[in-house]
Amino acid sequence: MQARVTLLDGSLFTCTVEKRARGLQLFEKVCEHINLLERDYFALSFRDADNNKNWLDPSKEMKKQVRGVPWNFSFNVKFYTPDPAQLSEDITRYFLCLQLRQDIVSGRLPCSFATHTVLGSYTVQSELGDYDPDECGSDYVSELCFAPNQTKEIEEKIMELHKTYRGMTPAEAEMHFLENVKKLSMYGVDLHHAKDSEGVAIMLGVCSSGLLVYRDRLRINRFSWPKILKISYKRNNFYIKIRPGEFDQFESTIGFKLLNHRAAKRLWKVCVEHHSFFRLVSPEELPKKFLSLGSKFRYSGRTQIQSRRASAQISRPAPHFPRCISKRNILSRSLDGDMGSGLYAASKAIAVSDLISTATPERRTEERKEDPEEEQKPQSTISALRRSFLEAGGEGGVTEWEKRLAASPLCRVDDSPMIEPLEPDEVRTERQRKLSLIYSIAVSQFRFSSFRGATRLSHFKSSFKCVLLFLDHEGSNRCILRVDFSFKIFK
């Protein structure tokens, strides 16, 4: 049968496979076509009759998975590595960059104005090379696509940053791109629509660290993989069994309701695969019993540990490969892996209301020692760009940074603010404010003369957790004050 695969650069790969062929056979043909050895982070996806994205199981026959729809597939990143610097080959990082550019342009990976400009400048350096005033016009980036609803202001800032990257190779630009994008709060998060026990609409996100829960675009809970004892589903319900906490005696089970049985099973399979890939040394073996309860599904590929060991043994010369140009006029509607002929998703992004908004270091150190002028390159990171905006703010009123952030193309229809991670200084200030407030409340509620004394005071150990248990003079009422903080905030 004829199978069509849309690659990350927008090109179309067509091949013939047997009717009873397994998914692995098609996947290997695609990887050989694009000359990719580090394959474990990638997979083939397809759309079912209800337009839901599904991952092609390499261990099963394709005809049993793709039913009622043409054999149209997309080659995508399935497991987003937390540290792209550990990838061995430049071609692997290049394909990861292509996937992340699709995520950004389509709106699946929300970014602020400053993030768009920094990432866009590295994209231009990777695709066009050094800035040349003789070849580049006044608006040479206007035909490139970096963000949904791209504005002229973003393009101007991208050109300003691009001019400072003279001498940077495409591979180095892609490494800087990945080092910045991996810090985004939604990096590598696979979102699924669900409802909690009270029927409130939420989003469940699966990533390398665990399961995330979002409501109204805010992350309200996080369950790391070590904290989860068991994941299961029944009908359209998805359950996670949580390990008892420090002050808990029993395990607890939390349930979520999904759209239907297929959606619950799809989420369960994604969780099983992510946990197996990022947490296990080797994949689990299939149950050998002839009659067994529950699903027989297991992750059949290599884990991240096995993949890194295999990558360390790659001995071939660095492959040469062409880098495509992200022209706007060749964009196609390839959101979430839809078929198309272009590189990125259409400039019309999906509704942001459906989303949640919130070079290796060693090589970089060596380059700085060799080239002291590298330290003086302005705005090479998101933090530096943000500081420049704050310093350039006008007198009083709204700063220039706030104006640009408010004009970010990722603002929701209801103009609600986006959620962005705080800078280290902001986190430190916020923690100090909260600790001061807690201390003031404790002092105002209890008089030191009425204390019998602190019955337990854990010292500052590795976890830096302090639990204060106070008893009043009657000994009947207790006040438990728990403060979690890092000792570094007092330095």
Q: What confidence score (pLDDT) does residue 310 get?
A: 94
Q: What confidence score (pLDDT) does residue 138 get?
A: 81
Q: What confidence score (pLDDT) does residue 246 get?
A: 76
Q: What confidence score (pLDDT) does residue 250 get?
A: 83
User: Is the distance from CB of 194 to CB of 203 less than 8 angstroms?
Assistant: yes
* Sign for the pseudo-dihedral over CA of 60, 189, 157, 130: negative
Q: pLDDT per residue over 209-252, tens digit each?
A: 999 999 988 999 999 999 999 999 999 999 999 998 877 778 89
Q: What confidence score (pLDDT) does residue 349 get?
A: 36
The residue ranges of the chain whose pLDDT is under 70 are 286-295, 326-491
Q: What confidence score (pLDDT) does residue 470 get?
A: 37
Cα–Cα dist 287/19, whole Å = 27
Q: pLDDT per residue over 253-263, tens digit each?
A: 999 999 999 99
Between the alpha carbon of residue 135 and those of residues 45, 119, 130, 160, the distances in Å are 40, 22, 10, 16
Q: Burial-class residue 149 by CB neighbours within 10 Å (0-12, 13-18, 19+).
A: middle
Domains of the chain, each with CATH number or no CATH: 2-79 (3.10.20.90), 190-306 (2.30.29.30), 424-490 (no CATH)
Cα–Cα dist 90/94, whole Å = 6
Q: What's the token pair of residue 180?
A: 């910045």
Say how many C-beta atoms besides its own lie within 10 A of residue 209's C-beta: 17
Q: What confidence score (pLDDT) does residue 67 get?
A: 87
- CA angle (167, 173, 178) in 5-degree steps: 160
